[in-house]
Structure 1
Amino acid sequence: MQLLPPRLSKTDGCSFAKLLGTGSGFGFSLWPDFSTYALLMKWESPENAAHFFEHSELFEELENKSNHIETHFLESLGAHGSWYGKNPFHEKAEYSGGKIAVITRARINIHKLPRFWQFVPKASKAIENANGLVYTKGIGEWPLIEQATFSIWENEQAMKNYAYADIHKEIIGKVKKENWYKEELFSRFNYLKSIKH
């Protein structure tokens, strides 16, 4: 997996790619899940994506080395914030009315790490008990410091109900007031389909 990122950057039709580790349990996690990796890729067209999954040697290699691969196809509803200084998901489609996916990503200020991780169990329990949650997984580039979550919700209202719940609002308030993050991104997507390879 360490050798994969340079090869991803050369993939035709891919404008953004990140290889991410995952955490165990719900939301952010101190404990890595070494059995699972996440590959986040943004495509210039559906045809480019289809070619990668159907014809590329790189994806065939990943398939041969994996017990299971599941691909989630998303359409950007827009994002605010940045990922290393850029917003990769600035395109804004209309919400389709069905399932919605969310990617949140944060680069944590090092001197705020103890404070951040103090509240992680509370946040993880809140999302675990959230109504309308279909799936969630903690993802990230660097343990402890660069954390992200990928979640799928039954609909936009279910996602908003969680986002505006008291526990989540309390934690977000502390994030802003105490300047926990050096950088953050919040992005929403129409959930189009999933394929098991």
Structure 2
Amino acid sequence: MHHIKISDIFSKMGQVVYLHFFRYNQHRFWAFTQMQRAHAGLQDCKGLQFYKMLGTGAGAGFSLRPDFSTYALLSVWDSEDDKKQAFASSPVLQAFFDRSATQRIYALRPIHTHGKWSGQSPFVVQKPSGDKPIGVITRETLNPLRLIDFWRHVPQASQAIKEAKGVGFFKGIGEWPFVQQATFSVWESAEAIRTFAYVSQAHASIVKKTRERKWYKEDMFNRFEVLSEEKTPLV
């Protein structure tokens, strides 16, 4: 197993949230099968409150084309100790590191949440420090009757975030292709997000159409402070 330096920043906190991206050069078919097969092993992890195995979109991520080289794991834990113990002892979690070529790991503190994810509210909002980058996860279950209309507008949304100022990383993620979609983005500040939300005409147009055309059966919007970001191997 690769030796990963895991942040101790959560050590005196309660609930902890991590988002891992695993990129595979080899073992891509194995990684694809873990979208289903990993559940049995993950459900045995002590202290794991909530998790989602996620595929990703090609390119920047906002695409109908899947990225079969990259998969993500969103996990919410009772404590940092539970998370560390699971990653040290779980064969499933160890295999993700052993078989992937690179990893990108975000430690996140929830500071705002609205909506439901599979009928649940998994994130416990905590007091922000105000001096860290902001991570945003949006997640939607699409209305089957609105799929074509929604996906026709995805290129517009993708271009808007590509042109946004203050965004450092963004990737499309999701549980099921075409129907259950999510995005993760990292911004230099809350002000950068507000500027994008209120100044970008393309973004405002998408938000308006979302409401008018009832694209979503279920949706969720979450903001996090990014407590740490690790890329391994370091390049």
> Is the contact made by 2:136 and 2:184 (CA closer than 8 Å) also made in structure 1?
yes
State the match for 2:201 in structure 1: 166
The corresponding residue for 1:183 is: 218
Comparing 158-167 and 106-115, the one that deviates more: 158-167
Of the two structures, which has the highest relative contact order with CA contacts closer than 8 Å and spacing of 6 or more? 1
1:49-60 correspondence to structure 2 within 5 Å: 49-60=83-94
| Structure-2 residue corresponding to 1:61 | 95
- Could you tell me which amino acid in structure 2 is paired with residue 142 of structure 1? W
Secondary structure at the residue paired with 1:93? coil
The answer on 1:104 being equivalent to 2:147 is no
Q: CA RMSD in A?
A: 1.4
Tell me the alpha carbon deviations over residues 8-53 of structure 1, each in whole angstroms, 9 at most, x when there is no partner: 1221111001000000123531000000000000111111122233
- Does the Cα contact within 8 Å between 1:72 and 1:193 map onto a contact in 2? yes
Distance (Å, rounded) in 1 between the aligned partners of 2:192 and 2:58? 23
- In the superposition, relative to structure 1, how do residues 86 and 121 fare at CA in structure 2: closer, same or farther (>3 Å)? same
SS of the residue aligned with 2:153? helix
SS for the counterpart of 1:3 is helix
Q: Distance in 1 between matches of 2:46 and 2:207?
A: 38
Name the % identity: 41
Query: Partners in 1 of 2:202 and 2:119 — Cα distance?
Result: 29
Rate the CA distance shift 1:70–1:27 in 2: closer, same or farther, 3 A. Answer: closer
Count of equivalent residues: 197
TM-score between both structures, scaled by the size of structure 1: 0.94
Match of 2:74 among 18, 27, 40: 40
What does residue 38 of structure 2 align with?
4
Which residue identity lines up with residue 39 of structure 1 in the other structure?
A: L
**SS, match of residue 211 in structure 2:** helix
CA distance in 2, matches of 1:139, 1:157: 24
Contact between 2:134 and 2:226, CA under 8 Å: does it hold in 1? Answer: yes
Q: Which runs of 4+ in 1 moved over 4 A?
A: none
**Structure 1 gap ranges (5+):** none
Q: 1:73 to 1:3 in 2, by over 3 A?
A: same
Deviation for aligned residue 1:91: 2.0
Is the contact between residue 106 and residue 184 of structure 1 (CA under 8 Å) also seen in structure 2? Answer: yes
Mean alpha-carbon deviation: is it higher for 31-40 or for 52-61? 52-61
Alpha-carbon distance in structure 2 between the residues aligned to 1:126 and 1:52 = 39
Alpha carbons 2:137, 2:221 under 8 Å: kept = yes
Contact 2:41–2:90, Cα closer than 8 Å, also in 1: no
Query: How much does 1:196 deviate?
Result: 3.4
Higher mean C-alpha displacement, 72-81 vs 160-169: 160-169
Indicate the larger mover: 155-164 or 53-62: 53-62
Letter in 1 for 2:195: N
Q: Separation in 2 of the partners of 1:25 and 1:163?
A: 23
Q: Write the letter of the residue equivalent to 1:168.
A: H
Give the whole-Å Cα distance in 1 for the aligned partners of 2:61 and 2:104: 19
